[in-house]
Amino acid sequence: MCFLVPIPFKISKYLRYLSGLILLWMAACQPTGNDTLRLSSWVSSPSETNLFKQTLADFRQTHPELDFKYEPIPGNYSEKLQLMLGTNTAPDLFFLKGMTAPSYMSFGILNPLDNWMAQSPDFEATDFFPFALEAFQYDGVQYGLPKDFNPYVLFYNKAHFREAGLDSLPTNWQELEQMSAQLTKDRDGDGKMDQYGFIVEPSIEMVMPFVYQNDGHFQNPDGSLGITDDSFIEALEFYYGLYQKGVATIAQDQGVAWNGDAFGRGTCSMAISGGWLMPFLKDNYPEIDYGIIPLPAGKQRATVAFTTAYAMPKKTAFEGEAWQIMNYLVGKEGMANWTNTGVAMPTRRSVAEANGFYEHPVFKTFMESAAYARPFQVQYSERGFEEVVVAFQAIFFMGKPPREAMEEIASQIKKYRLVKNKKQR
């Protein structure tokens, strides 16, 4: 606690003391809350929050001796976390998004977990899907443990497919385009299309599955930038082409907030999304009859998987306790509790097998995707993503040729390559 005490100094000396006073006051206001372990997450939907609280309650029951506080961060998670880490007030255990993980790991502010993993016989690192573990490794060190994953899959509207007389589902790029064309129609006859086969989005995450399928990369395995390679450009051209040819729409053209909303309204017959679209459809468009299949393949099968990990800051005072909680939450019991409603897929093969994810009519599609899913991660700062998004916007909204747009930003993005914090070496 911290109070401002009025100090009866002489007025003439007031200003002289002012600066000293401020320093004193700031020094006295040391961050509080160092007495219990704190756990923070972002807040997505009420149902997820409740599920998470339930998982934590289960842990409390089996580990009553371990005291901790759950402090969710309702908005601007990344910004808030950055400030907390920078001022040594960070929670002792927190969510870390796979896409932003490389930045945090390169700054050397996360606690390495390898020793703890080795010391815990029940941990079994080999049980995890490799892509999920690798997403939180940097220079061979494990900095976070994946709690779940969610791959992009293809949602399709069964009624639209029946209506168009389609009795098969797209398995490759050509079929995706063909079927999109067959599903695009003008329902009310006003000369304007009101149902599109597919929906696209000028975002890097949405383009990457196509790039991976075409054997391309954002960042090549040798570390060089891949966005001007033919394999990248071809995929981007195919993806943008769907929109350009009028067989796909974008959310902005329909005045909806996101792809899932357009899919729910029946504005598009197919949409790429992760599992989070299912509860959204259930809440907002319960009448829609839809199915889920793996993404159509290009030269090879691939999809992007989003994964979230638990991580702890280097400066935590509760390392052992934080590990215990983390080990429970990503352990067989905690992960089974957290994923049992299918809010996200388990990152442990044994949990998926024990809970019937491979047999489940819906979840099996997600699990099948895990075999070839990749996290989208590159060793570039977030500024690099921003530049790509701007280039995509120029393509989609201004009709700039994809190759030209990517070549223009390539040299700029190279400047944003992450460099490992030298002091940490």
Partner 1 sequence: MKLSAKQKEQARTAYLFIGFPLLLFSVFTFVPILFAFFISFYDWNLLIPDKPFVGLANYVELFQDKVFLVAIKNTLVYTIGVVPIQTLLALVLAFIMNQKLKGRAFFRLAFYIPAVTSSVVTSIIFVWIYSKPGLLNYLLSLIGVEGTDYLTNPSTALFAIMALNIWTTSGYFMISFLAGLQSIPQSLYEAAKIDGANQWQQFWKITVPMVRPVTYFVVVLSLIGCFQVFDQIYVMSAGGPVNSTTTMSYFTYNNAFKFFRLGYGAASAVILALIIFGATWLQKKYFPADAY
Binding site for partner 1 (CB under 8 A): 4, 11, 14, 18, 21-22, 25-26, 78-79, 82-83, 85-87, 103-104, 107-109, 252-255, 381-383, 386, 389-390, 393-394, 397-398, 412, 421-423
- Of 62 and 88, the one with the shorter C-beta distance to partner 1 is 88
Give the SS3 label for residue 94: strand
> 339: buried, middle or exposed (CB in 10 Å: 19+, 13-18, 0-12)?
buried
In angstroms, what is the minimal distance from the CB of 134 to partner 1?
Answer: 22
In angstroms, what is the minimal distance from the CB of 411 to partner 1?
Answer: 11
- Of 102 and 170, the one with the shorter C-beta distance to partner 1 is 102
Distance between CA atoms of 250 and 235, rounded to whole angstroms? Answer: 18
- Of 6 and 64, the one with the shorter C-beta distance to partner 1 is 6
Reference 254, options 180, 216, 198; nearest CA is 198
Rounded-to-5 percentages of helix, strand, coil across the chain: 45, 15, 40
In angstroms, what is the minimal distance from the CB of 244 to partner 1?
Answer: 16
In angstroms, what is the minimal distance from the CB of 188 to partner 1?
Answer: 14
Calculate the alpha carbon distances from 420 to 140, 347, 378, 381, 424 in Å: 13, 28, 13, 12, 8
∠ CA 77-414-297, rounded to 5°: 75
- Of 214 and 381, the one with the shorter C-beta distance to partner 1 is 381
Distance between CA atoms of 251 and 30, rounded to whole angstroms? Answer: 47
- Of 179 and 225, the one with the shorter C-beta distance to partner 1 is 225
In angstroms, what is the minimal distance from the CB of 414 to partner 1?
Answer: 15
Q: Are 147 and 329 in contact (CB under 8 A)?
A: yes
Give the bridge partners for 102, in sequence order.
none
Q: Are 122 and 228 in contact (CB under 8 A)?
A: no
Q: Say which DSSP state 342 is in.
A: S
- Of 19 and 32, the one with the shorter C-beta distance to partner 1 is 19
In angstroms, what is the minimal distance from the CB of 72 to partner 1?
Answer: 20
In angstroms, what is the minimal distance from the CB of 372 to partner 1?
Answer: 31
- Of 205 and 253, the one with the shorter C-beta distance to partner 1 is 253
CB atoms within 10 A of CB 73: 18
